[in-house]
Amino acid sequence: MKNGATMPVRVYMEDTDAGGIVYYVNYLKFMERARSEWLRTLGLNQQSLLDDGTQLVVYRLACHYSKPARLDDSLIVSTNVESVGRCRMTFLQQVQRDEELLCAATVEIACLCAHKMRPKAWPKTLKALG
């Protein structure tokens, strides 16, 4: 079972502020996309999880910005599973330009029953990562 993946990202004008630097919240969007693509490598996607009554939500996030990304930069977003609990999973995610670390985050995701919005155990495919 895969517990990590990488995804390329190009910085477009819409990702930047007036100075051509990636706006801070867009790093979180890049990371969200990378986690969604990681799910696809496991044969899952957000819609199929919702159809099965499972919703994944960000429970806790800690982010450190080291250096700015700029317009037209080619970035790599990495997603690695750090730990898996009964209802939560912690990821270490990084955004790099070449080998240079720009941003790192620890993202804790909670698994919820989509109808009751209460914690529920991971689906088998994700539970196997623990």
The residues annotated as belonging to the active site are 17
Contacts of 17 (CB under 8 A, 6+ apart): 23
First to last CA, the chain: 10
Asked if 93 contacts 78 with a C-beta cutoff of 8 angstroms, the reply is: yes
> CA-CA distance, 114 to 13, in Å (whole number)?
35
Smallest Cα–Cα separation from 88: which of 54, 104, 112, 114? Answer: 112
